[in-house]
């Protein structure tokens, strides 16, 4: 039976935190709805201390910011975007439009059509999340979205050059320097100067995730991508330093980033605990990582791999790093997670920054019912039908007529009946189901 060697905040405590966030977000979104640009400006001044003449960057401003980067920095950004684009394009190529003749004269099909406008949120108030621009903007570009707008908060009082460059190179058509709820709200609700989008994508803190949740329905969203989560599944094939490094590498994201170790080795659990304490004495982001580990870190000792698998699927963490003697077994059997990182040679940071898979992933157990952001999220699969012969119109119409009457929908039935009369020459009495062919004969 699984044994918790270290526990995190209870679900009750987390729910209380969520309730506070929910109330704040409701008020801010209402303010944006009522006052538009004025509310956005006030909120930007309050939360970011940033009130430019215009939140939207001009092309000359974008060019100047890009020019601040060295050739090597730009090369690194372009390399990462190439990996993301290549994988997104391979995914796009797997999504085919289809058209089939299901019976003589009946043509059915579907088309994959890009969402027409997307708002991409790129976090950056605490750390400039350059990679998030690749994951949202570049992927939307591969999907063929005709209007891509991108928002990121100021970093240390001004636009971050690397983030703006990544947005621009990724294919953003409009770039705004604004953060948090005001950015997400402005993109979804619209203001006097910002035309609302059809869909919001991108990760963010608890407030951004809650804003997306509240705006869902008014616009589409990619998924609930809240504070980052990480899980390490490890046995005695790896050591405490590696595991501790991988746990803290994600815990430094924020004060509420869950980090969980599942292991079958008590020695590894103890060694990891000791290594975490050692690393926290030298990690520059230790203040954040320590608070996150104290409040949201867990170590769960399991009896075997089957129990680790069951725990992992139950927790459904965003990032799941597997370092065992049977990594591919977990790939075969895991069903609830954001993304898997298999073997000690890879790690979550690879996926976050450069390897090519998307890093906007489901959190808060959403991996039970959705995967992460990918090119397919920007595409809508729409079906169509056509009937090309009188015979097919009559036959389908006869069945449709009777099935509509079975449900009591006379108006529906008449849509079928009028075609049975016109294309089949069968005089169906008004408001009745079409006769069976043997009865008609």
318 counts as catalytic: yes
Whether 302 and 273 have beta carbons less than 8 Å apart is answered as no
121 belongs to an annotated ligand binding site: yes
51 belongs to an annotated ligand binding site: no
250 belongs to an annotated ligand binding site: yes
| DSSP letter assigned to residue 173 | S
228 belongs to an annotated ligand binding site: yes
Whether 205 and 228 have beta carbons less than 8 Å apart is answered as no
253 belongs to an annotated ligand binding site: yes
Interior CA angle at 416 toward 439 and 113, to 5°? 140
Whether 275 and 240 have beta carbons less than 8 Å apart is answered as yes
Q: How far is CA 304 from the centre of its chain?
A: 32
288 belongs to an annotated ligand binding site: no
Burial readout 65-90 (b: 16 or more C-beta within 10 A, e: otherwise): bbeebeeeebebbeebbebbbebbee
319 belongs to an annotated ligand binding site: yes
Taking the C-alpha atoms of residue 252 and residue 400, their distance in angstroms, rounded to an integer, is: 60
Taking the C-alpha atoms of residue 285 and residue 298, their distance in angstroms, rounded to an integer, is: 19
CA dist 31 to 25, 123, 182, 318, Å?
A: 10, 22, 10, 32
Residue bearing tokens 């750390």: 127
314 belongs to an annotated ligand binding site: no
- Catalytic one of 134, 168, 305, 319: 319
- Catalytic one of 318, 359, 398, 414: 318
- Decide: helix, strand or coil at residue 41: helix
Taking the C-alpha atoms of residue 289 and residue 272, their distance in angstroms, rounded to an integer, is: 15
4 belongs to an annotated ligand binding site: no
Q: Which two tokens stand for residue 34?
A: 């009522």
DSSP string, 380-400: EEEEEEEE-SHHHHHHHHHHH
391 counts as catalytic: no
Taking the C-alpha atoms of residue 234 and residue 316, their distance in angstroms, rounded to an integer, is: 16
Taking the C-alpha atoms of residue 268 and residue 363, their distance in angstroms, rounded to an integer, is: 26
305 belongs to an annotated ligand binding site: no
Give the residue numbers of the binding site.
121, 182, 205, 228, 250, 253, 319, 352, 407, 412
Give the residue numbers of the binding site for Zn(2+).
250, 253, 352, 412
Give the residue numbers of the binding site for NAD(+).
121, 182, 205
Active site residues: 318-319
């Amino acid at each position: 039976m699984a044994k918790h060697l270290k526990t995190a905040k209870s679900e009750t405590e987390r729910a209380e935190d969520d309730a506070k966030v929910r109330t704040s977000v409701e008020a801010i979104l209402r303010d944006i709805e009522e006052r538009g640009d004025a509310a956005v400006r006030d909120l930007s001044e309050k939360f970011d201390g940033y009130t430019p003449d215009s939140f939207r960057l001009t092309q000359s401003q974008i060019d100047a910011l890009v020019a601040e980067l060295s050739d090597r920095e730009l090369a690194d950004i372009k390399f990462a975007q190439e990996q993301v684009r290549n994988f997104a394009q391979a995914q796009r190529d797997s999504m085919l439009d289809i058209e089939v003749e299901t019976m003589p004269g009946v043509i059915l099909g579907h088309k994959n059509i890009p969402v027409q406008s997307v708002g991409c949120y790129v976090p950056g108030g605490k750390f400039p999340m350059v990679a998030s621009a690749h994951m949202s903007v570049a992927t939307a570009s591969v999907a063929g979205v005709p209007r891509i707008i991108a928002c990121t908060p100021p970093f240390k009082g001004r636009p971050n050059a690397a983030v703006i460059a990544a947005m621009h190179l990724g294919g953003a058509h409009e770039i705004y320097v604004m953060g948090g709820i005001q950015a997400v709200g402005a993109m979804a609700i619209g203001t006097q100067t910002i035309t609302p989008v059809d869909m919001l994508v991108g990760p963010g803190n608890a407030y951004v995730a809650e804003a997306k949740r509240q705006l869902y329905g008014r616009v589409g969203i990619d998924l609930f991508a809240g504070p980052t989560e990480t899980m390490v599944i490890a046995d005695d094939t790896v050591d405490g330093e590696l595991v501790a490094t991988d746990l803290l590498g994600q815990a430094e994201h924020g004060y509420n980033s869950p980090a969980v170790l599942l292991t079958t080795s008590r020695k590894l659990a103890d060694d990891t605990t000791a290594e975490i304490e050692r690393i926290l004495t030298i990690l520059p982001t230790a203040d954040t990582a320590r608070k996150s580990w104290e409040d949201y870190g867990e170590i769960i000792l399991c009896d075997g791999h089957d129990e680790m698998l069951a725990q992992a699927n139950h927790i459904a963490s965003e990032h799941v790093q597997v370092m065992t003697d049977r990594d591919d077994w977990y790939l075969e059997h895991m069903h609830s997670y954001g993304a898997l990182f298999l073997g000690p040679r890879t790690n979550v940071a690879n996926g976050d920054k450069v390897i090519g898979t998307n890093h906007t992933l489901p959190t808060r157990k959403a991996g039970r019912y959705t995967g992460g952001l990918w090119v397919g999220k920007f595409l809508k699969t729409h079906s169509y039908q056509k009937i090309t012969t009188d015979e097919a119109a009559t036959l389908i119409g006869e069945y449709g007529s009777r099935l509509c009457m079975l449900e009591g929908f006379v108006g529906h039935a008449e849509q079928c009946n009028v075609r049975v009369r016109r294309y089949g020459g069968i005089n169906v009495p008004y408001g009745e189901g079409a006769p069976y062919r043997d009865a008609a004969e």
